[in-house]
Structure 1
Amino acid sequence: MPSNEQKRAAAKRKLQRQLAKRAEHERQRQRLTLVFAAVVVVALVAGGVFWWVQSRPKPEAPAVPAALSCAFEASPEPASKPVTKPANGPAAITPPTQDVTIQTDQGDIPVALDRAKAPCTTQSFLSLAQQNYFNDTTCHRLTTGGLSVLQCGDPTGTGSGGPGYKFADEYPVAKGKPVATTGSTFYTRGTLAMANAGPDTNGSQFFLVYQDSTLPPSYTVFGHIAEPGLVTLDKIAAGGVAPGPRGGGDGPPKIPVKIVSVDLSPANHAAPPAQPAPPAPPAQPAPPAQPAPAGH
C-alpha cells in the first residue's frame, strides 16, 4: 500500500503533467492565432492591391477623329463639263493638308488644301482635278477694292457654270450658331475659298484672295496660297479689270488667265526670280461695296 509520501509525489507528477498539457495547448492556440492573423493580413493586402489596381484610371486610347460624311447632291443646273461626282460617305481626314499646283498660262499658283478643316471641299476639288475638269478653263472674274479676288472654276467662263452637283458649306460657315468674329478675319491675303450661290450650294467655282477682303463668313475656306502663287496673282491684278456689268472694279481680268491643269504632286514652293513691282496707282476714292463671289 503506497505511503502518504508516495501519494503526494504521484499527485505532484499528475499536476505537472496537467500543467504541461495546458501549456502545450496554449502554445498551439497562439500558433493558430498567429497563422490566422497572417492569413487575414495577406488577404487584406492582396485585396488592397487588387482594389488599387482596379481603381486606377485606365489609360485612354488615342482619340481617333471621326470621318465626316459628305453628301454630293445633284444640282438644278447640269454639269458644264462631263464629270462624275465624288462618292457620298466618309471623307479622308489624313494627311491634314494636300499640296497642289494650279498651273495657269500666267504662272503657277501652288496651294495647300486644308483637308482637316474642309474635308468634303478638298475631296471634291481633288476629284475634279483628277478628272481634268479645270483644264483649259478661264478665270472669269477679277475684283479690286474691298473685295480683291480672282475667281475660277467655271468651264463656261460666265460665272454660272458648275459640275452638276452641290455640297454643304464647311469652315468657317456657322452651323446653327452665331459667328464669333467678322468675315475680315477669314478672307485675308492668300486665302483659297469656295464661291457659292447661297448656303450649301458649293460646286466647282473658287476664288483666290490676293489682298485682305471684307466678306461675311459665308464662303468655305479650304486652303492657302503659297508665296509664288501670290506673285502670280499680283501680276494678274496689276494688269487691271476689264469693266463688266458690275462696274469698273469687277469683271474679267485684262490679262486673260487660263488654267492649263492642276498638278496633284507636291508643289514646288521655291519663290520665282524677283520681278519689279508695278507702279502704285494714284489714290482713288474707295469703290462702292461689291457683290460677294457667286458661283456653283
Structure 2
Amino acid sequence: MTTGKDRQRKLAREHHERQMARRAQREAKAKRNTMIGSAIGVIVVVGGIVAATTLLGGGDSEAGVNAAATPTPTAPTAPPSPTPTPSPTPLDQVRCDYKAEAAGNVKKVGAPPAKPDLKAKTITFKTSQGDVVVEFNTKQTPCTVNSFVHLAKENFFDGTKCHRLTASKDTGLDVLQCGDPLAKGDGTQQDGTGGPDYRFGDEALGSSQYEPGTVAMANSGPNTNGSQFFFVYGEFPVAQIGANYTPFGKVVKGMDVLKKVAEGGNITPKQGDGEQGPTPPKLPVEIKDVTISHKS
C-alpha cells in the first residue's frame, strides 16, 4: 500500500528525471551548434586562403601553378637612343684654320683669311703645254679652295714647274704632281719639298674614287696640306693607296693636255745623298699663270 510520502518521493524522482532529460537535450543541441559553427568557420578560413593564393599566383590550382611557373612579363627595354650625328656646319658659317709653317722650303705669302671665298668656281692653269681648267668642289672643300684663291692672288704658282709624273705601267698610279714653288723639274732630290708658309687640314676624305680628271691635294701625312696638288689622268687604285687626299676639283677642260704630257713619259730621277728624287715629265710643264673665276 502506497503512503503519501511514497507518492511524493515518486513525483520528485520523475521531476528530476525530466529535468535531467531536458538538460541533456540542451547540452546535445549546444554541442551540435558549436560543431556546426566551427565547421563553417573552418570552411570560411580555408576558402579565403584558397581565394587569396589563387589571386596572388601562389596556389595549387591550374591558374596558380601557371602563374607561379610563368614569370611575370615585363615591358620591353627600349633600345638606347642613338648618338645624334652632328649637323654639318652651314657653309656660310665655316671658318678655316691655317697653321703657320715657319721652317722648311717655304715661300712666304701669309695665311689665307679664315672666312673662305665661297664664290670661287673654277681655276685655270695656263701651262707651257696648254690650258687646264678645273671646276672647284667649293661646297665640300671650302678651305682648300680658299687656299687656292689666296695663292692665286699672290701669284704663288706663276713660273712653277710640275715635278712628278707617274704611270700605271710602272707604279700602278697615273698622276701629274705640281705646286712646289721651288721645284726645278729636273728630278733633283729637292723637288717636291716646297710649299707656302702655312698648313691646313684635310677635307672630304673618302668622298671621291679619284677617277680620271680628279684634282687633289698632295700631302706628307694627315692635315699637312700646303700648295702641292696632283691631276689624276688615268688609274688611281684607292684600295691600295687609300682615300687620303683632299679632292678639291675636277678637270673640265685640258684632259688632252694631261694625256699628251703622260704619253711623253718621265725622266729617270737623279740620285742625291743616297736618296732618289721624283720623276718629272719629259715634256716640261711650267705653270705660267693662274686665274680664278667666280660665280655671278
TM-score range, shorter chain: 0.5 to 0.7
Structure 1 189/91 Cα, relative in aligned 2: closer, same or farther at 3 Å? same
Structure 1 87/266 Cα, relative in aligned 2: closer, same or farther at 3 Å? closer
For residues 196-207 of structure 1, the aligned pairs below 5 Å read 196-207=219-230
2:102 and 2:220 map into 1 onto residues whose CA distance is 12
What's 1:231 paired with? 256
RMSD: 2.6
Aligned length: 190
Q: Is the 8 A contact 1:244 1:251 kept in 2?
A: yes
Check if 1:152 corresponds to 2:178: yes
Choose which of 131, 141, 163 in structure 1 pairs with 2:196: 163
Structure 1 124/79 Cα, relative in aligned 2: closer, same or farther at 3 Å? farther
In the TM superposition, residue 147 of structure 1 has moved relative to its aligned partner by 1.1
2:105 and 2:113 map into 1 onto residues whose CA distance is 16
1:155 and 1:106 map into 2 onto residues whose CA distance is 18
What's 1:220 paired with? 246
2:266 and 2:181 map into 1 onto residues whose CA distance is 20
In the TM superposition, residue 67 of structure 1 has moved relative to its aligned partner by 2.3
1:220 and 1:196 map into 2 onto residues whose CA distance is 9
Check if 1:137 corresponds to 2:160: yes
Q: Which runs of 5+ in 1 are unaligned?
A: 1-62, 174-180, 268-296
Q: Is the 8 A contact 1:67 1:91 kept in 2?
A: no
Structure 1 202/239 Cα, relative in aligned 2: closer, same or farther at 3 Å? same
Residue aligned with 2:194, SS: coil
Give the fraction of aligned pairs with identical amino acids, expressed as a percent.
Answer: 42
- Residues 176-217 of structure 1 show CA distances to partners (whole Å, capped at 9, x for unaligned) of xxxxx8xxx521100000000000000000001101311311
Q: Is the 8 A contact 2:105 2:193 kept in 1?
A: no
Structure 2 length as normaliser, TM-score? Answer: 0.59
What's 1:194 paired with? 217
Choose which of 243, 266, 291 in structure 2 pairs with 1:241: 266
What's 2:131 paired with? 108
What's 2:14 paired with? none
Q: Is the 8 A contact 1:75 1:166 kept in 2?
A: yes
Structure 1 204/64 Cα, relative in aligned 2: closer, same or farther at 3 Å? closer
What's 2:15 paired with? none
**Which is helix-richer, 1 or 2?**
2
Of 98-107 and 67-76, more deviation after overlay is shown by: 67-76
What's 1:252 paired with? 280
1:99 and 1:71 map into 2 onto residues whose CA distance is 22
